Amino acid sequence: MQVVQWKDCEEKLIDKFPYKGKHLDVIGTSIRWLSQHGEDENGIPEYGLRFFTIQPEGQIPIHNHFYHQTMYILSGEFECWEFDQKTDALNKKVVCGPGTSIYIPSMQPHGMKNITDKPATFLCCICNVYDDEAVL
């Protein structure tokens, strides 16, 4: 068993995020890994729980990833975006506040922006799920 306080986990600023061969700017965003296990071929944990802080007007641009994720908004409000997988056109824009849970399936392009005048936070759980693996 591992027990940690979120403030004791190293806070790392995120400045770029890859998407379709480009490195897009991430604005005012930091991450703390609360737990993690395993590693995929890109060095990303197979499972992890992360604590994000996004500053006012900060944002995570369009991106996607192999793992599934669920975000749970703790504070502030976010404009959350879902994009078309083929065209990158904006499919959906939703404002999400505290107590909201957002599930993003594997490879779904998405992004978000803090729309408040204070830092906003959320938890994000990630997990790689392989459809061809048998569960024993």
- Give the pLDDT confidence of 27-85 residue by residue, as tens digits: 999 999 999 888 766 667 788 999 999 999 999 999 999 889 999 999 999 999 999 99
Range of the domain at 65: 11-50+61-77+91-127
Contacts of 103 (CB under 8 A, 6+ apart): 68, 69, 70
Higher pLDDT, 39 or 93: 93
Contacts of 74 (CB under 8 A, 6+ apart): 98, 121, 122, 123
29, β-bridge pairs: 14, 54
Whether 133 shows a pLDDT value over 50: the answer reads: no
Domain CATH for 44:
2.60.120.10
Asked if residue 82 is part of any domain, the answer here is: no
Asked if residue 134 is part of any domain, the answer here is: no
Asked if residue 6 is part of any domain, the answer here is: no
Whether 102 shows a pLDDT value over 70: the answer reads: yes
- % of residues, the chain, pLDDT over 70: 91
Report the C-alpha gap between 119 and 53 in whole angstroms. 6
Asked if residue 107 is part of any domain, the answer here is: yes
**Domains identified in the chain, total number:** 1
Task: Residue 123: name the closest of 78, 64, 83 by CA.
Answer: 78
Task: Tell me the pTM.
Answer: 0.89
Whether 118 shows a pLDDT value over 80: the answer reads: yes
Average pLDDT for the chain: 92
